[in-house]
Amino acid sequence: MSASFAETSSATRGAVIPQRITATEASSIIERIKQKLDIVEEIGAVVSLKKSGKAFKGLCPFHGERTPSFYVFPDKQDWHCFGCGERGDIITFVQKQQSLDFREALELLAERAGIPLERGGHPESAEDHGTAALFSRVVELDSFNSDRRNGVEVGAKDS
């Protein structure tokens, strides 16, 4: 797979949005959010965490357990439960813990990080507009990848 997805189309809330997006652009907004938020602090608001070496451990919020098997790794900015096998980053944690889709979790975390995203209105500055456009592309790429993971043929033309 190349770094650029040529004229990808997918449905996002009923609208077909053709976009040209690079992996670099898509990861940029996510990285900005991750840099501004402390994964230990965010997960620690939900899970009681204790320092264990370089990681933090606690009881997994996704399954019942008595012995901690849920670990947060601040150096890698990810988490893993060795009991149920769930794992991810700060975005997947918020998605799973609060039953949100990717867009909703990204919006919530962007708000917490103080990164403005356009929400149906007009951006207040050129920088906000660029962030909003990039955010839309990130959501588009996530939808594209989700379709591919679920076996939906992306970009197929009707005969």
Domain of 101, CATH number, reads 3.90.580.10
The amino acid occupying position 8 is T
Give the pLDDT of residue 92: 96
The answer for 150, left when phi > 0, alpha when psi is -120 to 50, beta otherwise, is alpha
- Give the global pTM: 0.62
Q: Which domain holds residue 47?
A: 38-147
Domain assignment present for residue 152? The answer is: no
- The per-residue pLDDT string of the chain (159 residues; one tens digit each, 9 = 90 and over) reads 333 333 333 333 333 333 444 556 557 778 889 999 999 999 999 999 999 999 999 999 999 999 999 999 999 999 999 999 999 999 999 999 999 998 899 889 989 998 876 544 444 444 545 555 666 666 666 655 555 554 545 454 444
Per-residue exposure over 104-143, b if at least 16 CB sit within 10 Å of its own CB, e if not = ebbbbbbeebebbbeeeeebeeeebeebbebbbbbbbbbb
**Number of structural domains found in the chain:** 1
